Structures are given as structure tokens and as C-alpha cells.
Amino acid sequence: MNEVPAAFAEAEGEGDHSYTYWYKAHKDFFTKELQKLGRSFQEDMPACL
């Protein structure tokens, strides 16, 4: 997650198109989903691009 380039996040066009928005939205989503599996979000977790 922490290696996703800002240009990629901005190109997805979510929210206000900023990296900050993209990161928070994805962190919130993955945190919730990982909790269901008994795991936790890690900034260095792989992200598929």
C-alpha cells in the first residue's frame, strides 16, 4: 500500500482525486475486511496494481 504511486491513486479518480483520499478510502476498506479474517492492516502489505 505504501508503494502505490500518487499518479496511480489520482488516476483512479475516486473522491477528490487525491492520493490522500485514495489511501484513506483503501485503508478503511482493507482494515474492515481484514478484521473479518482476524488480520490487521499493514502499510507495507502488498497491493495489486
What is the per-residue pLDDT across 16-47, written as a single tens digit (0 to 9) for each?
999 999 999 999 999 999 999 999 999 888 87
Q: Is pLDDT of 7 > 60?
A: yes
pLDDT at 33: 93
pLDDT at 48: 63
| CB neighbourhood size of 14 (10 A) | 13
Express the helix, strand and coil content of the chain in percent, nearest 5 each: 50, 0, 50
pTM score, whole prediction: 0.81
pLDDT at 16: 94
pLDDT at 9: 85
